[in-house]
Amino acid sequence: MLQAIAARMNGFQEFPYLSVNHGSAVPLALSIKLQLYRELTAAGMTRANLQQVAGWPKTKADRMFDPNHESKLAQVETAF
């Protein structure tokens, strides 16, 4: 499941809403990244926009959307 989510996030593709209520238990850290992804795409923003606004290097912005990377909560809060 993580690989499918990562592939969609990397391609900025839409995906169905995942939640515990729908039988798809998603780890909390991934749920937060998914919400960030949804909010950025809803605002018409890209990772490049996030990188510029937050003043981050490209790799740091990319890691915000990597389900296998354990981003620090403070960094995720900055992204929001």
Structural domains present in the chain: 2-79 (1.10.260)
Distance CA 78, CA 80 (A): 5
Return the pLDDT at 11: 63
Return the pLDDT at 6: 66
Q: What does the block give as tokens for 28? A: 């909390």
The amino acid present at 12, given as its one-letter code, is F
Q: How many CB atoms lie within 10 A of CB 61?
A: 20
What are the pLDDT digits (tens) for 18-70? Answer: 554 455 667 778 788 888 888 888 899 888 888 898 898 988 888 888 878 88
Q: How many CB atoms lie within 10 A of CB 72?
A: 9
| Residue 4 pLDDT greater than 60, yes or no | yes
Distance CA 13, CA 8 (A): 5
pTM, whole model, 2 decimals?
0.66
pLDDT greater at residue 20 or residue 8: 8
